[in-house]
Amino acid sequence: MIEYLPHSEQHTELYLNQFGIEECISGHCFGPAVRSHYLLHYVLSGEGRYEVGGTEYRLQKGQGFLIVPGVVTRYQADQDDPWSYCWFGFDGTLTGLLLQQAGLSKTAPIFSYERDDQIVTYLQQMKESQGFAKARETRLTGLLYLLLSLLVEYGPVTFPETSGSRAEDYIRQVKDFIEINYPRKITVQDIAQCIGLNRSYLNSLFKQQMHTSIQSYLIHYRVHKACEMIENTGLSIADISRSVGYTDALLFSKVFKKVMGSSPKHYRAEHDPEKGRLS
């Protein structure tokens, strides 16, 4: 069983382009060859071997291997106990990051998952998604995320890289989280937990890159948004306070004055004397 899917225009971050299952005959092989997208093979029974980069891996039930685009690979079923496997082909802008979190790469292409039959369940649900007329693409993407989440959660412990693009990516994630969640009562711990890093480590990395702490950045972001609301809306100071994450209007005014040098009321009066009469 195999199904090929059209290229996704909606889910560019991660999308499924094929999936299938095969019971191989003795000695059945594929390659040497290269692929244009990522492939995960998961062994359901039997044995076989996977060759990449001059290394051969012997695999059995509960193990799997990653094929990276543009890399020459070869795999072959065992002569005496040929394997059956399922596979998932996918790509997208988030693929590299998700595979890295799972500890998978072209130099570390092998994984194990022996906890339960959840991977097979996701495969079956992908097949059953044919009954979805309008939402199938979204459902398939969701199932692919769930599958990769198993490999991330139960894969080897990976340590974050601190240089170059990885550090910049963490900074971007902090900024994105604050941009989306600043109206809520959030903490640095909430941000670190969402990103999946230790709070102290993330704060240190942020300081190194941005020359300010995450807490200070959050405060200044909130005050900046409050200034925009004061200048462009007729909301009361109390409403603005709640809108930028402060349920205590007095605390908001204190923080605002510390950052801007004047209270919210005085700031409004300076920028619009008519609105300055609002409380």
Quote the CA–CA distance of 182 and 178 in Å, as a whole number. Answer: 5
Whether residue 255 has pLDDT greater than 50: yes
Phi, psi angles (nearest 5°) of residue 87: -145, 160
Q: What is the pLDDT of residue 273?
A: 55
Phi, psi angles (nearest 5°) of residue 22: -145, 135
Instruction: Kindly give the interhelix angle for 164-181 and 188-195, rounded to the nearest 10 degrees.
Output: 130
**Of 84, 64, 23, residue with least CA distance to 148:** 64
Q: pLDDT for 28-40, tens place per residue?
A: 999 999 998 999 9
**Of 51, 116, 123, 130, residue with least CA distance to 85:** 123
Q: What is the pLDDT of residue 2?
A: 63
Whether residue 6 has pLDDT greater than 80: no
Question: How many CB atoms within 10 Å of residue 172?
Answer: 11
Structure-token pair, residue 277: 């009469």
Task: Compare 164 and 76 and report the one with higher pLDDT.
Answer: 76
What does the pLDDT average to over 69-97? 94
Q: What is the pLDDT of residue 158?
A: 58
Assess contact for 274 and 234: CB atoms under 8 A: no
What does the pLDDT average to over 137-144? 94
Q: Average pLDDT over the chain, rounded to whole?
A: 89
In the block, tokens 């490999």 appear at 151
* Radius of gyration of the chain measured on its C-alpha atoms: 26
Q: Which of 59-63, 165-169, 173-177, 228-232 has the lowest mean pLDDT?
A: 165-169
Q: What is the pLDDT of residue 249?
A: 92
Q: What is the pLDDT of residue 79?
A: 96
Structure-token pair, residue 35: 């692929």
Assess contact for 46 and 82: CB atoms under 8 A: yes
Which 3 state secondary structure label does DSSP give 251? helix
What does the pLDDT average to over 135-144? 93
In this structure, the chain runs to a length of: 279
Which 3 state secondary structure label does DSSP give 185? coil
Quote the CA–CA distance of 251 and 181 in Å, as a whole number. Answer: 19
Question: Residues of the chain with pLDDT > 90: what percent?
Answer: 70
* pLDDT band per the 50, 70, 90 thresholds, residue 117: very high
Structure-token pair, residue 32: 């040497």
Structural domains in the chain?
2-154 (2.60.120.280), 161-279 (1.10.10.60)
Q: pLDDT for 145-190, tens place per residue?
A: 999 999 999 988 655 554 456 788 889 999 999 999 999 989 999 9
Structure-token pair, residue 106: 């072209």
